[in-house]
Amino acid sequence: MHYGGIYEDEIVGKAYDRRLMGRFLGYLRPYRLLVVVTLLLLPPMAAARLAQPYLLKLAIDNHIVKAQMEGLPLLAGWFLLLILAESIFTYAEVWLLQYVGQKVMFDLRLALFSHVQRMPAAFFDRTPTGSLVTRLTSDVEVLGEMFAAGIITIVGDIMVLVGIIGIMLWMNLKLSLVTFSVLPLLVWVAFTFRRRMREAFRQVRARLANLNAFLAESIGGMAVVQLFNRQAREQEEFTRLNASYRDANLPVISWDAALYALVETLSSVAVGIIVWYGGGEILQGALTFGALVAFIQYIEKFFSPIRDLSAKYSIMQGAMAALERIFNLLDREHGESLGSTRGEGASLLPPPLMGGGEGGRPVERIEFRDVWFAYSGDDYVLKGFDLTIRRGETVALVGETGGGKTTVTRLLSRLYEVERGSIAFDGTDIRELPLTALRSRIGVVLQDPYLFTGSIEFNISLGDDQARSRAEEAAHIVGADRFIRHLPNGYGEEVRERGVNLSAGERQLISFARAVAFDPEILVLDEATASVDTASERLIQEGLRGLMEGRTSLVVAHRLSTIQDADRIVVIHRGEKMEEGTHQELLAKRGLYYRLYQLQFKD
């Protein structure tokens, strides 16, 4: 089973509803005026609703029973006006709630996306994409439903319930007390279901995230699935996760149906009590027929919001589970803020480097000082790694797969943080620099280039105005313009998802052009020519010579033919630097590099 285990989405523990709701309500502050207007609509809406049964009482007792038509049309007119007023207030309330709800969801999605963008690379190593997508989409959508159907609507329902209780007690104390005898049972049912449904909704949200994560992974790797005939196995795994999500929903359905049925039953019992006790009161002359009808109307209105409690409670509990998951993500610590510095040491660096702008003073020396790093626990990928790279040098890293070469480049860009030791620019630890200043100095080309949906020009410039002005020149330097010119729309050609309409070599050439367009001071090439054919590689090597001229370059390579002209070659073996020198010097040593060279070039 390739899915599950570390990919199983967490089911959060004990919930603190008041705390969660308090944090959520903080997102309402920018729209508090609209919320106040919505709240002001509730009293007149409740009054219009509560006055209708009383008008029926007056019509029955003062006119219908006494056969007096005079004044009855006026009461009917008032009754219609109350219905119209209730409709208008309800429309305004629902519209405002939906409007504010959309605004809040917009802000919350922005906060989540901004937070996710600042998370370190290690977070994405252990968090499935589908789980994050669920939080940013369906979890936030559930909060919108809660806002529209829950928070303020419940305030209005409470007003109506309190008003009904007050009017009924005023109209007939004994009948009211007899009718409300079912309320203790109703309260017990509500609290019992609250505990059971909360856990069920946690399960639903977690299982949905697992299902989405699997779909993202499986669809993204569909070519591998098909090539290795794994469709049946993927179908089994999807069936398992789909069944898990279905089964998580079944308790919710059961509790929801049971709650609705019990509330409906209690409502009918209350009406039966009114008819039984109120009928006796009418026979004894202690109650009018109009009052009995009004009581029945009021009890229907009383149980109407409670009858909807199952639906509203389902939404509220789903939203509480979503809030737990959303705030759990927002509470996770991320790397240094993109616009901040870390510690006072940042002032030690010359201002041009801190700003990361063009024309700043170049970095004269990059130093790796006794660097140790492990992706997990004490399984160190780098062990006491030392390396000095001077301005304008091209340094190549070679060694066996998994030896730590790519890790060196990741630490330089601060995708991961050094655990022991340090990396310094001209004597200043790079952890003291703002990430924007650091990364604006470094251009990275990966072995597996990532292209975005959009035009080729956008994929070269990534929307940066300065890079856009250099896009065509950059493509020319690396030879990408040779195939771009033959496309129907040239640089405006649309790139499909993950660049599937381009070959692997063409995608790599675009990533090369991207690095050139951003004009980096430090160039990192991580197996950059691995996906390019030999003919294209020659063109790229020519372009790279111009690109690397005057730049500090760190090159990770398996093909030793691509780095023979490097100023220095560093051999890394099991996380340690074993050899260092030029191509000829290392061959003369007849050590690890010599053996690697012999393996690649022997007849």
**CATH architecture assignment, domain 362-601:** 3-Layer(aba) Sandwich (3.40)
**CATH architecture assignment, domain 17-330:** Up-down Bundle (1.20)
Give percent of the chain above pLDDT 90. 6
> Residue 33's Cα: distance from chain center in Å?
28
Has residue 6 got a pLDDT over 50?
A: no
Average pLDDT over residues 298-327: 74
CA distance 383 to 574: 8
Please report the sign of the dihedral spanned by the C-alpha atoms of residue 134, residue 137, residue 140, residue 144.
negative
List where CATH 1.20.1560.10 sits in the chain. Answer: 17-330
- The least confident of 71-75, 184-188, 511-515 is 184-188
216-229 confidence digits (pLDDT tens): 778 777 766 776 67
Note the pLDDT of residue 12. Answer: 47
Dihedrals φ, ψ of 364, to 5°?
-85, -25
Note the pLDDT of residue 347. Answer: 34
Average pLDDT over residues 475-504: 83
| C-alpha closest to that of 115 among 272, 308, 275, 333 | 333
Has residue 331 got a pLDDT over 90?
A: no
pLDDT band at 515 (very low <50, low <70, confident <90, very high): confident
Note the pLDDT of residue 368. Answer: 93
List where CATH 3.40.50.300 sits in the chain. Answer: 362-601
Has residue 336 got a pLDDT over 80?
A: no
pLDDT band at 81 (very low <50, low <70, confident <90, very high): very high
41-80 confidence digits (pLDDT tens): 888 888 888 888 888 888 887 878 777 778 788 888 898 9
Note the pLDDT of residue 214. Answer: 82
Average pLDDT over residues 447-469: 85
Note the pLDDT of residue 534. Answer: 64
**Mean of per-residue pLDDT scores for the chain:** 79
Note the pLDDT of residue 535. Answer: 63
Count of residues in the chain: 603
CA distance 47 to 163: 8
Q: Which range scores top for mean pLDDT: 5-14, 202-211, 337-346, 372-381? A: 372-381
Note the pLDDT of residue 369. Answer: 92
pLDDT band at 371 (very low <50, low <70, confident <90, very high): very high
| C-alpha closest to that of 2 among 208, 225, 190 | 225
Has residue 5 got a pLDDT over 80?
A: no
pTM (global) more than 0.85: no
Cβ burial of 39 (10 Å; 0-12, 13-18, 19+) is middle
Average pLDDT over residues 549-570: 83
CA distance 238 to 235: 5
| C-alpha closest to that of 207 among 254, 235, 151, 249 | 249
Note the pLDDT of residue 230. Answer: 77
CA distance 581 to 562: 16
589-598 confidence digits (pLDDT tens): 888 888 888 8
